Amino acid sequence: MEKRLKKDAEFEKAKRELLKAHLERYARRTNTQIIVTALIATVAFTLGFTMPGGYHQSGEVNEGLVLLPKKTAFQAFVISDALALVLSISSLFLYFISSMYEDPYQVSKLNTASTGLNIVSIIAMMLTFVTGTYVVLSHSLALAITVCMIGCFFFLLVIILTIKMIFDHKVEKSKPERFIV
């Protein structure tokens, strides 16, 4: 019986240490994601007031209004910027809310949702860059298209990594369960 109690105590200690290591890694990852989210929110907020093409100057009829509101690329810029801002702020809010929970399951669900919002906000931020660059370079179509094509490599990377993650997840799911001690 004494051997059994000793083994149980060792098992519990190992389990606590493993849980502690997982929680520390999880906290570092979450902190990194919060920093990225805050940076995206800051940049998206700033871009909302720093419009490509600028504003009508003082003394003009439309003083203070943007110069390019009817261009489709400008409209796409504004929409993608607003999307990046809303998604990143929503993600920050979920991280904030998750810090109030003690239940690891609830925290995990909220952080998973935050991570998803982060990913989509990063994609929206890249779309903001591509459309904003296109708007200001539209007078030089060859340069505008070149920059857009370079920016689109990011979207190709996202597609490739998403497919890889799905494949890896399916492979991992098909493996038998492993118990960590």
pTM score over 0.85: no
16-70 per-position pLDDT tens digit: 888 777 777 777 888 889 999 999 999 999 988 888 888 888 888 888 888 888 8
Using CA atoms, how far apart are residues 76 and 72, in angstroms rounded to an integer?
Answer: 6
Q: What is the token pair recorded at 95?
A: 């991280």
Of 112, 45, 37, nearest in space to 85 by CA: 45
